[in-house]
Amino acid sequence: MAKKKLRILVVNGPNLGHLGVRQPEIYGTQGMDAVPGMVCDLLGKNAAEVSLEFFQSNSEGGIIDRLTKAWEDKVDALVVNAGAYTHTSLALADCLAWIKLPCVEVHLSNLAARTDDPLRQRSFVGRHSIGVIAGFGILGYGLAVQALWKRLRG
């Protein structure tokens, strides 16, 4: 019998709908359309065992509704780049705390190095995540999927 695919929802928060265009000097020149190919490269033959879904919203409620639906739909794991809500949203943290889906927090930029903006040093997502990947641009999403694969199926 064919193995059940690992379903992973990739969630992007506000202003991440224009990756590649938005401040490319900080966030890079590639868009999310590069991610599936990256996952194939990183996972090799195992990529066929992963099913990726993508969601982006500029609204806090939209993200929370989608995460709740992921729980209802029994999605296996999450990759979350909540954009600026990372640093502000207790509501998002509350959602991740109860749905308890394995989650990897991703950021395109290296937040630890953005010391000009101390608010960016705090994350409400990290406390409910297995781990954090930051600073590798769009590759971070692929690495997060690979990490989830290793953790859940490796």
Task: Tell me how far, at minimum, the Cβ of 113 lies from ligand DQA, in Å.
Answer: 11
| Subset of 54-83 contacting ligand DQA (CB under 6 A) | 81, 83
User: 103 with 78: CB under 8 angstroms?
Assistant: yes
| Subset of 11-40 contacting ligand DQA (CB under 6 A) | 15
Tell me the HSE value of 60 on the side-chain side, using a 13 A CA sphere: 14
Q: Any contact of residue 86 with ligand DQA (CB under 6 A)?
A: yes
Q: Is 107 a catalytic residue?
A: yes
Task: Tell me how far, at minimum, the Cβ of 137 lies from ligand DQA, in Å.
Answer: 9
Q: Is 87 a catalytic residue?
A: no
Task: Tell me how far, at minimum, the Cβ of 153 lies from ligand DQA, in Å.
Answer: 26
Interface contacts to ligand DQA, rule CB under 6 A? 15, 81, 83-84, 86, 107-109, 120
Catalytic residues: 27, 107
